[in-house]
Chains A and B, each alone.
With several copies, the nearest count.
Chain A
Amino acid sequence: MEKNIVSFTNNTVTKELPIQINVENVNIFYGDNHAVKDVNLPIHEKSITALIGPSGCGKSTFLRTVNRMNDLIPSARCEGTISYKDVNILNPKLDVVQLRKEIGMVFQQPNPFPKSISENIQLPLRFAGVRNKKTLKDATEDCLKQVGLWDEVKDRLDRSATSLSGGQQQRLCIARALALKPDVILLDEPTSALDPVSSSKIEELLLELKNSYTIIIVTHNMQQAARIADYTAFFYQGELIEFGQTRTLFTNPEKQSTSDYISGRFG
Protein backbone atom coordinates (compact mmCIF):
# COMPACT_ATOMS: atom_id res chain seq x y z
CA MET A 1 0.00 0.00 0.00
CA GLU A 2 1.58 3.17 -1.08
CA LYS A 3 -0.82 5.60 0.45
CA ASN A 4 -2.14 5.97 3.91
CA ILE A 5 -5.76 6.84 3.39
CA VAL A 6 -7.17 5.24 6.45
CA SER A 7 -7.97 7.78 9.08
CA PHE A 8 -8.68 6.91 12.65
CA THR A 9 -11.12 9.72 13.20
CA ASN A 10 -13.81 7.48 14.59
CA ASN A 11 -11.70 5.78 17.16
CA THR A 12 -11.94 8.56 19.64
CA VAL A 13 -11.06 6.78 22.81
CA THR A 14 -9.88 9.54 24.97
CA LYS A 15 -10.43 8.01 28.35
CA GLU A 16 -10.80 4.40 29.31
CA LEU A 17 -14.48 3.44 29.39
CA PRO A 18 -15.83 1.24 32.20
CA ILE A 19 -15.62 -2.51 31.60
CA GLN A 20 -18.93 -4.20 30.73
CA ILE A 21 -17.74 -7.75 30.15
CA ASN A 22 -14.57 -9.25 31.49
CA VAL A 23 -13.16 -12.36 29.90
CA GLU A 24 -10.77 -14.39 32.05
CA ASN A 25 -8.87 -17.52 31.07
CA VAL A 26 -11.42 -18.68 28.56
CA ASN A 27 -10.71 -21.94 26.74
CA ILE A 28 -13.08 -23.37 24.18
CA PHE A 29 -12.99 -26.85 22.71
CA TYR A 30 -14.80 -28.66 19.94
CA GLY A 31 -14.34 -32.23 21.04
CA ASP A 32 -10.53 -32.51 21.07
CA ASN A 33 -9.99 -29.41 18.99
CA HIS A 34 -8.76 -26.62 21.25
CA ALA A 35 -10.27 -23.74 19.28
CA VAL A 36 -9.77 -20.85 21.70
CA LYS A 37 -6.85 -20.81 24.10
CA ASP A 38 -6.69 -19.01 27.40
CA VAL A 39 -8.14 -15.71 26.34
CA ASN A 40 -8.23 -12.67 28.67
CA LEU A 41 -9.98 -9.61 27.38
CA PRO A 42 -11.95 -6.66 28.73
CA ILE A 43 -14.93 -5.38 26.76
CA HIS A 44 -15.56 -1.70 27.39
CA GLU A 45 -19.01 -0.23 27.70
CA LYS A 46 -20.47 1.75 24.81
CA SER A 47 -17.57 1.11 22.52
CA ILE A 48 -16.86 -1.01 19.50
CA THR A 49 -14.43 -3.87 19.95
CA ALA A 50 -13.26 -5.56 16.77
CA LEU A 51 -11.99 -9.14 16.64
CA ILE A 52 -9.63 -9.73 13.73
CA GLY A 53 -7.46 -12.60 12.61
CA PRO A 54 -7.05 -15.12 9.83
CA SER A 55 -9.72 -17.63 8.95
CA GLY A 56 -10.20 -20.39 11.51
CA CYS A 57 -8.43 -18.55 14.31
CA GLY A 58 -11.42 -18.77 16.64
CA LYS A 59 -13.05 -15.34 16.30
CA SER A 60 -16.54 -16.66 15.69
CA THR A 61 -16.14 -19.34 18.30
CA PHE A 62 -15.19 -16.76 20.89
CA LEU A 63 -17.97 -14.39 19.91
CA ARG A 64 -20.62 -17.08 20.03
CA THR A 65 -19.55 -18.00 23.51
CA VAL A 66 -20.35 -14.54 24.82
CA ASN A 67 -24.08 -15.11 24.44
CA ARG A 68 -23.81 -18.86 24.78
CA MET A 69 -24.89 -19.56 21.18
CA ASN A 70 -22.28 -22.28 21.24
CA ASP A 71 -24.57 -24.26 23.54
CA LEU A 72 -26.27 -25.29 20.33
CA ILE A 73 -23.20 -27.20 19.19
CA PRO A 74 -23.15 -30.44 21.15
CA SER A 75 -19.40 -30.97 20.89
CA ALA A 76 -18.54 -27.46 22.08
CA ARG A 77 -17.18 -27.09 25.60
CA CYS A 78 -16.08 -24.00 27.42
CA GLU A 79 -13.92 -23.23 30.46
CA GLY A 80 -13.07 -20.02 32.26
CA THR A 81 -15.01 -16.95 33.37
CA ILE A 82 -16.84 -14.28 31.44
CA SER A 83 -18.09 -11.81 34.03
CA TYR A 84 -21.08 -9.74 33.12
CA LYS A 85 -23.22 -7.90 35.68
CA ASP A 86 -21.78 -9.93 38.55
CA VAL A 87 -22.58 -13.28 36.98
CA ASN A 88 -20.41 -15.67 35.07
CA ILE A 89 -21.88 -16.09 31.61
CA LEU A 90 -20.37 -19.55 31.41
CA ASN A 91 -22.25 -20.74 34.50
CA PRO A 92 -24.21 -23.76 33.27
CA LYS A 93 -27.16 -22.78 35.46
CA LEU A 94 -27.47 -19.41 33.82
CA ASP A 95 -30.77 -18.57 32.14
CA VAL A 96 -29.47 -18.41 28.58
CA VAL A 97 -32.78 -17.22 27.20
CA GLN A 98 -32.57 -14.12 29.38
CA LEU A 99 -28.88 -13.72 28.61
CA ARG A 100 -29.55 -13.64 24.89
CA LYS A 101 -32.16 -10.96 25.40
CA GLU A 102 -29.49 -8.79 26.97
CA ILE A 103 -26.70 -9.77 24.60
CA GLY A 104 -28.08 -9.77 21.06
CA MET A 105 -26.39 -11.19 18.01
CA VAL A 106 -26.22 -10.54 14.26
CA PHE A 107 -24.76 -13.08 11.86
CA GLN A 108 -22.66 -13.07 8.72
CA GLN A 109 -25.49 -14.16 6.47
CA PRO A 110 -28.57 -11.98 6.98
CA ASN A 111 -31.12 -14.39 8.44
CA PRO A 112 -34.53 -12.73 8.57
CA PHE A 113 -37.43 -15.04 9.31
CA PRO A 114 -39.48 -15.88 6.25
CA LYS A 115 -42.29 -13.73 7.60
CA SER A 116 -43.34 -10.14 7.11
CA ILE A 117 -40.99 -7.31 7.91
CA SER A 118 -42.97 -6.16 10.91
CA GLU A 119 -43.29 -9.67 12.29
CA ASN A 120 -39.54 -9.99 12.15
CA ILE A 121 -39.21 -7.13 14.57
CA GLN A 122 -42.17 -8.11 16.69
CA LEU A 123 -41.29 -11.75 17.14
CA PRO A 124 -38.63 -11.18 19.82
CA LEU A 125 -41.06 -8.95 21.69
CA ARG A 126 -43.78 -11.55 21.47
CA PHE A 127 -41.34 -14.13 22.72
CA ALA A 128 -40.69 -11.87 25.66
CA GLY A 129 -44.41 -11.71 26.37
CA VAL A 130 -45.39 -8.38 24.85
CA ARG A 131 -48.97 -8.65 23.61
CA ASN A 132 -50.10 -5.06 23.33
CA LYS A 133 -50.62 -4.18 19.66
CA LYS A 134 -49.72 -0.55 20.06
CA THR A 135 -46.49 -1.30 21.89
CA LEU A 136 -45.52 -3.75 19.19
CA LYS A 137 -46.25 -1.28 16.44
CA ASP A 138 -44.35 1.51 18.10
CA ALA A 139 -41.40 -0.74 18.71
CA THR A 140 -41.37 -1.78 15.07
CA GLU A 141 -41.24 1.81 13.91
CA ASP A 142 -38.66 2.73 16.49
CA CYS A 143 -36.29 -0.11 15.65
CA LEU A 144 -36.58 0.35 11.93
CA LYS A 145 -35.85 4.04 12.36
CA GLN A 146 -32.76 3.29 14.41
CA VAL A 147 -31.31 1.27 11.55
CA GLY A 148 -32.45 3.79 8.95
CA LEU A 149 -34.79 1.31 7.30
CA TRP A 150 -38.07 2.94 8.20
CA ASP A 151 -38.32 5.21 5.19
CA GLU A 152 -37.38 2.44 2.82
CA VAL A 153 -39.94 -0.09 4.03
CA LYS A 154 -42.68 1.78 5.85
CA ASP A 155 -45.11 1.19 2.98
CA ARG A 156 -44.57 -2.54 2.82
CA LEU A 157 -44.27 -3.71 6.40
CA ASP A 158 -46.47 -6.66 5.51
CA ARG A 159 -44.28 -7.84 2.68
CA SER A 160 -42.02 -10.80 3.27
CA ALA A 161 -38.66 -9.89 4.72
CA THR A 162 -36.97 -12.14 2.19
CA SER A 163 -37.99 -9.73 -0.55
CA LEU A 164 -35.56 -7.14 0.81
CA SER A 165 -32.05 -6.76 -0.60
CA GLY A 166 -29.13 -8.27 1.28
CA GLY A 167 -28.13 -5.02 2.90
CA GLN A 168 -31.67 -4.23 3.92
CA GLN A 169 -32.04 -7.71 5.33
CA GLN A 170 -28.92 -7.27 7.40
CA ARG A 171 -30.16 -3.95 8.76
CA LEU A 172 -33.48 -5.62 9.52
CA CYS A 173 -31.60 -8.26 11.48
CA ILE A 174 -29.85 -5.55 13.45
CA ALA A 175 -33.18 -3.85 14.06
CA ARG A 176 -34.54 -7.16 15.27
CA ALA A 177 -31.65 -7.49 17.69
CA LEU A 178 -32.35 -3.96 18.96
CA ALA A 179 -36.01 -4.69 19.60
CA LEU A 180 -35.30 -6.18 23.01
CA LYS A 181 -33.12 -3.24 23.98
CA PRO A 182 -30.05 -5.32 24.70
CA ASP A 183 -26.95 -4.07 26.47
CA VAL A 184 -24.52 -5.68 24.11
CA ILE A 185 -24.67 -6.51 20.42
CA LEU A 186 -22.43 -9.15 18.90
CA LEU A 187 -21.86 -9.06 15.15
CA ASP A 188 -20.08 -11.83 13.23
CA GLU A 189 -18.77 -10.43 9.95
CA PRO A 190 -22.01 -8.56 9.39
CA THR A 191 -20.90 -6.92 6.17
CA SER A 192 -18.92 -9.62 4.45
CA ALA A 193 -21.89 -10.84 2.43
CA LEU A 194 -22.84 -7.32 1.40
CA ASP A 195 -22.00 -4.91 -1.37
CA PRO A 196 -19.82 -1.87 -0.60
CA VAL A 197 -22.69 0.57 -0.37
CA SER A 198 -24.66 -1.54 2.05
CA SER A 199 -21.50 -2.21 4.01
CA SER A 200 -20.74 1.40 4.53
CA LYS A 201 -24.32 2.06 5.60
CA ILE A 202 -23.96 -0.58 8.26
CA GLU A 203 -20.66 0.82 9.39
CA GLU A 204 -22.26 4.23 9.86
CA LEU A 205 -25.10 2.60 11.74
CA LEU A 206 -22.71 0.85 14.09
CA LEU A 207 -20.90 4.09 14.85
CA GLU A 208 -24.21 5.60 15.81
CA LEU A 209 -25.37 2.63 17.84
CA LYS A 210 -22.27 2.61 19.96
CA ASN A 211 -23.60 5.64 21.78
CA SER A 212 -26.21 3.41 23.37
CA TYR A 213 -24.85 -0.13 23.07
CA THR A 214 -21.69 -2.08 23.64
CA ILE A 215 -20.65 -3.63 20.34
CA ILE A 216 -18.34 -6.53 19.56
CA ILE A 217 -17.72 -7.16 15.89
CA VAL A 218 -15.82 -9.87 14.07
CA THR A 219 -14.40 -8.72 10.78
CA HIS A 220 -11.87 -9.98 8.29
CA ASN A 221 -11.58 -6.56 6.81
CA MET A 222 -8.82 -4.73 8.57
CA GLN A 223 -9.79 -1.44 7.03
CA GLN A 224 -13.21 -1.88 8.56
CA ALA A 225 -11.73 -2.53 11.97
CA ALA A 226 -9.50 0.48 11.58
CA ARG A 227 -12.41 2.66 10.55
CA ILE A 228 -14.91 1.84 13.25
CA ALA A 229 -13.42 0.01 16.21
CA ASP A 230 -12.30 1.65 19.43
CA TYR A 231 -10.53 -1.50 20.52
CA THR A 232 -9.16 -4.32 18.44
CA ALA A 233 -8.23 -7.84 19.42
CA PHE A 234 -6.02 -9.88 17.14
CA PHE A 235 -6.50 -13.65 17.27
CA TYR A 236 -4.16 -16.13 15.74
CA GLN A 237 -4.52 -19.90 15.89
CA GLY A 238 -6.90 -19.71 18.83
CA GLU A 239 -4.78 -17.36 20.89
CA LEU A 240 -5.37 -13.70 21.60
CA ILE A 241 -2.09 -12.31 20.34
CA GLU A 242 -2.68 -8.69 21.02
CA PHE A 243 -5.42 -6.41 22.33
CA GLY A 244 -5.47 -2.67 22.56
CA GLN A 245 -6.86 0.58 21.30
CA THR A 246 -7.29 0.28 17.58
CA ARG A 247 -4.97 3.14 16.68
CA THR A 248 -2.18 1.74 18.79
CA LEU A 249 -2.63 -1.78 17.49
CA PHE A 250 -2.60 -0.71 13.88
CA THR A 251 0.14 1.87 14.01
CA ASN A 252 2.35 0.36 16.58
CA PRO A 253 1.72 -3.34 17.06
CA GLU A 254 3.74 -5.02 19.78
CA LYS A 255 3.96 -8.43 18.19
CA GLN A 256 5.57 -9.32 14.89
CA SER A 257 2.65 -11.55 13.83
CA THR A 258 0.17 -8.72 14.36
CA SER A 259 2.25 -6.49 12.20
CA ASP A 260 2.57 -9.20 9.54
CA TYR A 261 -1.14 -9.82 9.52
CA ILE A 262 -2.33 -6.25 9.27
CA SER A 263 0.19 -5.53 6.59
CA GLY A 264 -1.14 -8.46 4.59
CA ARG A 265 1.88 -10.71 4.71
CA PHE A 266 -0.48 -13.64 5.32
CA GLY A 267 -4.16 -14.52 5.64
Chain B
Amino acid sequence: MNSKITNRIALSVIIVCAAAMAAILISMLGYILVRGVSSISWHFLTTSASPFLAGGGIKDQLWNSFYVLIITMILTVPIGVCGGIYLAEYAKPGRLTSFIRTCVEVLASLPSIVVGMFGMLVFVNYFGFKYSVFSGALALTVFNLPVIVRVTEDGFNALSLHQKEGGLALGLTHWHTIKTILLPAAFPSILTGVILSAGRVFGESAALLFTAGLSTPDLDFGNWNPSAPNSPLNLFRSAETLSVHIWSVNTGGIMPDVQTIANGSAAVLVIFVLLFNLCARMLGKVINQKFSGK
Protein backbone atom coordinates (compact mmCIF):
# COMPACT_ATOMS: atom_id res chain seq x y z
CA MET B 1 0.00 0.00 0.00
CA ASN B 2 2.71 2.34 1.13
CA SER B 3 4.77 1.97 -1.98
CA LYS B 4 1.69 2.56 -4.06
CA ILE B 5 0.99 5.88 -2.41
CA THR B 6 4.62 6.91 -2.84
CA ASN B 7 4.33 5.89 -6.45
CA ARG B 8 1.27 8.06 -6.96
CA ILE B 9 2.78 11.06 -5.27
CA ALA B 10 6.12 10.79 -7.01
CA LEU B 11 4.58 10.36 -10.42
CA SER B 12 2.30 13.32 -9.78
CA VAL B 13 5.32 15.42 -8.88
CA ILE B 14 7.00 14.43 -12.11
CA ILE B 15 3.91 15.32 -14.06
CA VAL B 16 3.73 18.65 -12.28
CA CYS B 17 7.37 19.32 -13.23
CA ALA B 18 6.65 18.51 -16.84
CA ALA B 19 3.54 20.66 -16.74
CA ALA B 20 5.53 23.51 -15.24
CA MET B 21 8.08 23.15 -17.98
CA ALA B 22 5.43 23.08 -20.66
CA ALA B 23 3.73 26.09 -19.08
CA ILE B 24 6.96 28.07 -18.93
CA LEU B 25 7.85 27.20 -22.46
CA ILE B 26 4.49 27.82 -23.97
CA SER B 27 3.87 31.04 -22.11
CA MET B 28 7.28 32.32 -23.15
CA LEU B 29 6.71 31.52 -26.77
CA GLY B 30 3.22 32.95 -26.55
CA TYR B 31 4.44 36.09 -24.87
CA ILE B 32 7.11 36.77 -27.47
CA LEU B 33 4.81 36.07 -30.36
CA VAL B 34 1.76 37.89 -29.02
CA ARG B 35 3.72 40.99 -28.20
CA GLY B 36 5.81 40.94 -31.31
CA VAL B 37 3.61 39.74 -34.11
CA SER B 38 1.57 42.95 -34.19
CA SER B 39 4.71 44.90 -35.04
CA ILE B 40 5.71 42.59 -37.86
CA SER B 41 4.61 43.86 -41.20
CA TRP B 42 5.93 43.75 -44.72
CA HIS B 43 7.19 47.24 -44.15
CA PHE B 44 9.03 46.14 -40.99
CA LEU B 45 10.73 43.28 -42.79
CA THR B 46 11.72 45.22 -45.88
CA THR B 47 12.83 48.59 -44.56
CA SER B 48 16.26 49.44 -43.29
CA ALA B 49 16.67 50.43 -39.68
CA SER B 50 16.44 54.08 -38.94
CA PRO B 51 19.09 55.63 -36.70
CA PHE B 52 16.70 57.62 -34.58
CA LEU B 53 13.33 58.07 -36.24
CA ALA B 54 10.34 55.86 -35.71
CA GLY B 55 9.25 53.40 -38.35
CA GLY B 56 12.54 51.67 -39.01
CA GLY B 57 12.64 48.07 -40.14
CA ILE B 58 15.01 45.17 -39.93
CA LYS B 59 15.74 44.37 -43.55
CA ASP B 60 19.52 44.67 -43.29
CA GLN B 61 19.70 42.91 -39.94
CA LEU B 62 17.62 40.03 -41.22
CA TRP B 63 19.82 39.73 -44.28
CA ASN B 64 22.94 39.92 -42.13
CA SER B 65 21.70 37.17 -39.85
CA PHE B 66 21.17 34.89 -42.81
CA TYR B 67 24.41 35.85 -44.45
CA VAL B 68 26.45 35.26 -41.32
CA LEU B 69 24.59 32.00 -40.83
CA ILE B 70 25.30 30.82 -44.35
CA ILE B 71 28.98 31.72 -44.19
CA THR B 72 29.25 30.01 -40.82
CA MET B 73 27.65 26.89 -42.20
CA ILE B 74 29.91 26.91 -45.24
CA LEU B 75 32.86 27.05 -42.90
CA THR B 76 31.66 24.59 -40.29
CA VAL B 77 29.74 21.87 -42.05
CA PRO B 78 32.56 20.40 -44.14
CA ILE B 79 35.12 20.66 -41.38
CA GLY B 80 32.71 19.54 -38.69
CA VAL B 81 31.51 16.55 -40.67
CA CYS B 82 35.08 15.51 -41.38
CA GLY B 83 35.96 15.93 -37.73
CA GLY B 84 32.96 13.85 -36.73
CA ILE B 85 33.94 11.15 -39.19
CA TYR B 86 37.41 11.17 -37.73
CA LEU B 87 36.10 10.58 -34.24
CA ALA B 88 33.56 7.98 -35.31
CA GLU B 89 35.61 6.05 -37.83
CA TYR B 90 39.31 6.72 -37.67
CA ALA B 91 40.13 7.69 -34.11
CA LYS B 92 41.85 4.90 -32.25
CA PRO B 93 41.25 4.90 -28.55
CA GLY B 94 44.17 6.64 -26.93
CA ARG B 95 45.55 9.89 -25.67
CA LEU B 96 45.27 11.79 -28.92
CA THR B 97 41.64 10.88 -29.44
CA SER B 98 40.82 11.70 -25.89
CA PHE B 99 42.56 15.03 -26.33
CA ILE B 100 40.66 15.83 -29.50
CA ARG B 101 37.44 14.89 -27.78
CA THR B 102 38.32 17.22 -24.94
CA CYS B 103 39.00 19.94 -27.48
CA VAL B 104 35.57 19.44 -28.99
CA GLU B 105 34.00 19.67 -25.58
CA VAL B 106 36.02 22.75 -24.74
CA LEU B 107 34.92 24.46 -27.91
CA ALA B 108 31.33 23.46 -27.32
CA SER B 109 31.13 24.87 -23.86
CA LEU B 110 33.16 28.05 -24.18
CA PRO B 111 31.25 31.07 -22.96
CA SER B 112 30.18 32.95 -26.04
CA ILE B 113 31.70 36.13 -24.74
CA VAL B 114 35.08 34.46 -24.49
CA VAL B 115 34.74 33.44 -28.09
CA GLY B 116 33.78 37.01 -28.91
CA MET B 117 36.84 38.36 -27.14
CA PHE B 118 39.05 35.86 -28.90
CA GLY B 119 37.46 36.80 -32.20
CA MET B 120 38.06 40.46 -31.54
CA LEU B 121 41.67 39.83 -30.64
CA VAL B 122 42.50 37.50 -33.48
CA PHE B 123 40.12 37.95 -36.39
CA VAL B 124 39.23 41.61 -35.97
CA ASN B 125 42.58 42.98 -34.91
CA TYR B 126 45.35 40.47 -35.52
CA PHE B 127 44.28 39.36 -38.97
CA GLY B 128 42.72 42.73 -39.65
CA PHE B 129 39.35 41.47 -40.81
CA LYS B 130 37.80 44.34 -38.82
CA TYR B 131 34.26 44.13 -37.54
CA SER B 132 32.90 42.14 -40.41
CA VAL B 133 30.70 39.33 -41.60
CA PHE B 134 33.79 37.22 -41.96
CA SER B 135 35.09 37.85 -38.44
CA GLY B 136 31.64 37.10 -37.08
CA ALA B 137 31.33 33.91 -39.07
CA LEU B 138 34.76 32.78 -37.93
CA ALA B 139 33.82 33.38 -34.31
CA LEU B 140 30.58 31.47 -34.76
CA THR B 141 32.56 28.71 -36.40
CA VAL B 142 34.27 28.19 -33.09
CA PHE B 143 30.89 27.41 -31.51
CA ASN B 144 29.28 25.60 -34.29
CA LEU B 145 32.13 23.32 -35.23
CA PRO B 146 31.86 21.13 -32.15
CA VAL B 147 28.11 20.91 -32.58
CA ILE B 148 28.48 19.59 -36.11
CA VAL B 149 31.27 17.27 -35.03
CA ARG B 150 29.05 15.79 -32.37
CA VAL B 151 26.04 15.51 -34.58
CA THR B 152 28.09 13.70 -37.19
CA GLU B 153 29.75 11.41 -34.73
CA ASP B 154 26.42 10.52 -33.18
CA GLY B 155 24.92 10.01 -36.61
CA PHE B 156 27.69 7.61 -37.55
CA ASN B 157 27.62 5.78 -34.26
CA ALA B 158 23.90 5.27 -34.57
CA LEU B 159 24.40 3.38 -37.82
CA SER B 160 24.55 -0.32 -37.40
CA LEU B 161 27.90 -1.94 -37.90
CA HIS B 162 26.25 -4.20 -40.44
CA GLN B 163 26.28 -1.59 -43.19
CA LYS B 164 29.92 -0.84 -42.71
CA GLU B 165 30.83 -4.51 -42.71
CA GLY B 166 28.76 -4.93 -45.82
CA GLY B 167 30.78 -2.29 -47.60
CA LEU B 168 34.17 -3.45 -46.45
CA ALA B 169 33.40 -7.07 -47.21
CA LEU B 170 32.80 -6.04 -50.81
CA GLY B 171 36.33 -4.79 -51.10
CA LEU B 172 35.47 -1.12 -50.73
CA THR B 173 38.11 1.00 -49.06
CA HIS B 174 37.27 2.50 -45.72
CA TRP B 175 36.97 6.00 -47.12
CA HIS B 176 34.82 4.83 -49.98
CA THR B 177 32.57 2.95 -47.59
CA ILE B 178 32.21 6.10 -45.57
CA LYS B 179 31.52 8.23 -48.61
CA THR B 180 29.09 6.04 -50.44
CA ILE B 181 27.36 4.12 -47.69
CA LEU B 182 27.79 5.53 -44.23
CA LEU B 183 27.58 9.23 -44.98
CA PRO B 184 24.38 8.94 -47.02
CA ALA B 185 22.87 6.78 -44.31
CA ALA B 186 23.85 9.20 -41.58
CA PHE B 187 22.83 12.18 -43.68
CA PRO B 188 19.31 12.64 -42.28
CA SER B 189 20.47 12.83 -38.70
CA ILE B 190 23.38 15.10 -39.61
CA LEU B 191 21.05 17.38 -41.52
CA THR B 192 18.64 17.58 -38.64
CA GLY B 193 21.49 18.46 -36.32
CA VAL B 194 22.82 21.08 -38.69
CA ILE B 195 19.47 22.78 -39.01
CA LEU B 196 18.95 22.74 -35.28
CA SER B 197 22.37 24.26 -34.78
CA ALA B 198 21.44 26.93 -37.29
CA GLY B 199 18.87 28.13 -34.78
CA ARG B 200 21.58 28.77 -32.25
CA VAL B 201 23.87 30.49 -34.73
CA PHE B 202 20.96 32.63 -35.85
CA GLY B 203 20.33 33.77 -32.31
CA GLU B 204 23.88 34.26 -31.09
CA SER B 205 24.66 37.79 -29.99
CA ALA B 206 27.40 38.11 -27.39
CA ALA B 207 30.13 36.79 -29.65
CA LEU B 208 28.98 38.87 -32.60
CA LEU B 209 28.95 42.03 -30.55
CA PHE B 210 32.74 41.90 -30.57
CA THR B 211 33.27 40.54 -34.05
CA ALA B 212 30.57 41.47 -36.54
CA GLY B 213 29.98 44.89 -35.11
CA LEU B 214 26.99 46.97 -34.16
CA SER B 215 26.32 48.61 -37.46
CA THR B 216 25.67 47.95 -41.10
CA PRO B 217 26.71 50.09 -44.02
CA ASP B 218 23.99 51.38 -46.27
CA LEU B 219 23.43 48.20 -48.22
CA ASP B 220 22.58 48.49 -51.87
CA PHE B 221 20.53 45.42 -52.66
CA GLY B 222 21.02 46.09 -56.35
CA ASN B 223 24.75 45.62 -56.11
CA TRP B 224 25.78 42.00 -55.77
CA ASN B 225 29.44 42.48 -56.47
CA PRO B 226 31.03 41.05 -53.34
CA SER B 227 33.93 43.47 -53.44
CA ALA B 228 31.76 46.58 -53.43
CA PRO B 229 31.73 48.09 -49.96
CA ASN B 230 27.96 48.47 -49.88
CA SER B 231 27.21 45.14 -51.42
CA PRO B 232 25.12 42.81 -49.28
CA LEU B 233 27.59 40.09 -50.23
CA ASN B 234 30.69 41.92 -49.08
CA LEU B 235 32.39 39.71 -46.52
CA PHE B 236 34.48 42.45 -45.02
CA ARG B 237 31.83 44.92 -44.01
CA SER B 238 30.37 45.20 -40.57
CA ALA B 239 27.09 43.47 -40.05
CA GLU B 240 24.70 43.89 -37.20
CA THR B 241 22.60 40.76 -36.97
CA LEU B 242 19.04 40.58 -35.77
CA SER B 243 19.82 39.43 -32.26
CA VAL B 244 22.58 42.00 -31.88
CA HIS B 245 20.06 44.54 -33.12
CA ILE B 246 17.65 43.57 -30.38
CA TRP B 247 20.40 44.04 -27.88
CA SER B 248 21.66 47.35 -29.21
CA VAL B 249 18.24 48.85 -29.78
CA ASN B 250 17.23 47.87 -26.32
CA THR B 251 20.45 49.21 -24.90
CA GLY B 252 20.85 52.56 -26.53
CA GLY B 253 18.21 53.04 -29.15
CA ILE B 254 16.84 56.56 -29.19
CA MET B 255 14.04 55.99 -31.63
CA PRO B 256 10.61 56.43 -30.10
CA ASP B 257 9.46 52.96 -31.09
CA VAL B 258 12.33 51.07 -29.41
CA GLN B 259 9.96 48.67 -27.70
CA THR B 260 8.07 47.85 -30.86
CA ILE B 261 11.26 47.19 -32.77
CA ALA B 262 12.69 45.00 -30.02
CA ASN B 263 9.46 43.01 -29.68
CA GLY B 264 9.05 42.65 -33.40
CA SER B 265 12.64 41.56 -33.89
CA ALA B 266 12.35 39.04 -31.06
CA ALA B 267 9.24 37.61 -32.61
CA VAL B 268 10.91 37.38 -36.02
CA LEU B 269 13.86 35.61 -34.43
CA VAL B 270 11.66 33.13 -32.66
CA ILE B 271 9.60 32.52 -35.76
CA PHE B 272 12.75 31.71 -37.68
CA VAL B 273 13.98 29.38 -34.99
CA LEU B 274 10.60 27.69 -35.19
CA LEU B 275 10.92 27.46 -38.95
CA PHE B 276 14.38 25.94 -38.65
CA ASN B 277 12.96 23.32 -36.34
CA LEU B 278 10.05 22.55 -38.59
CA CYS B 279 12.40 22.28 -41.56
CA ALA B 280 14.66 19.96 -39.63
CA ARG B 281 11.78 17.71 -38.76
CA MET B 282 10.21 17.64 -42.18
CA LEU B 283 13.43 17.26 -44.12
CA GLY B 284 14.56 14.59 -41.71
CA LYS B 285 11.34 12.71 -42.27
CA VAL B 286 11.36 13.05 -46.04
CA ILE B 287 14.96 11.98 -46.39
CA ASN B 288 14.54 9.17 -43.96
CA GLN B 289 11.63 7.91 -45.97
CA LYS B 290 13.61 8.19 -49.14
CA PHE B 291 16.44 6.17 -47.69
CA SER B 292 14.30 3.52 -46.13
CA GLY B 293 12.39 3.29 -49.36
CA LYS B 294 8.93 3.60 -47.92
Contact = CB atoms under 8 A, between A and B. Distances in A.
Interface of A: 67, 69, 72, 74, 97-102, 104-107, 109, 111-116, 123-124, 127-129, 159-163, 173, 176-177, 179-180
Q: Which of the four size classes fits the interface of chain B? A: 20 to 34
Contacts of A67: 169
A67 B165 CA distance: 11
Interface string B276-294: 0000000000000001111
B16 interface: no
A162 B170 contact: no
A115 B290 CA distance: 9
B46 interface: no
A100 B170 contact: yes
Interface stretch (B58-66, B103-111, B171-179, B234-242): B171-179
Nearest to B164: A72
User: What are the 8 tightest A-B residue pairs by CB atom distance, in nearest-first order?
Assistant: A160-B293, A101-B171, A111-B162, A105-B169, A124-B170, A111-B166, A100-B171, A163-B293
Given A111-B165, A160-B293, 7 more contacts: A97-B3, A107-B169, A111-B163, A124-B172, A127-B172, A162-B293, A177-B169
B172 A97 contact: yes
Contact of A160 (B92, B168, B173, B291): B291
28 contacts: A72-B164, A72-B168, A97-B4, A98-B171, A99-B171, A105-B169, A106-B169, A107-B162, A107-B169, A109-B162, A111-B160, A111-B163, A112-B166, A113-B166, A113-B181, A115-B184, A123-B170, A123-B181, A124-B172, A127-B3, A127-B170, A127-B176, A159-B293, A160-B292, A160-B293, A163-B294, A173-B166, A176-B166
B2 interface: yes
A101 B171 CA distance: 5
B51 interface: no
A28 B250 CA distance: 62
B151 to A, nearest CB: 19
Interface of B: 2-4, 92-93, 160, 162-173, 176, 180-181, 184-185, 291-294
B291 A180 contact: no
Main secondary structure of the interface of B (DSSP, over half): helix
B185 A114 contact: yes
B169 A129 contact: no
A114 B167 CA distance: 12
Contact of A114 (B92, B93, B170, B293): B293
Contacts of B168: 69, 72, 100
A128 B165 CA distance: 17
Contacts of A115: 184
B293 A104 contact: no
Give the interface centre of A69, A127, A177 by most chain B CB atoms within 10 Å: A127
Nearest to B169: A105
B14 to A, nearest CB: 18
A128 to B, nearest CB: 7
Contacts of A179: 170
Contacts of A173: 166
A192 to B, nearest CB: 14
A113 B167 CA distance: 8
A17 to B, nearest CB: 25
Nearest to A156: B293
Contacts of A180: 170-171
Give the interface centre of B93, B171, B184, B294 by most chain A CB atoms within 10 Å: B171
Given A100-B170, A114-B292, A69 B165 contact: yes
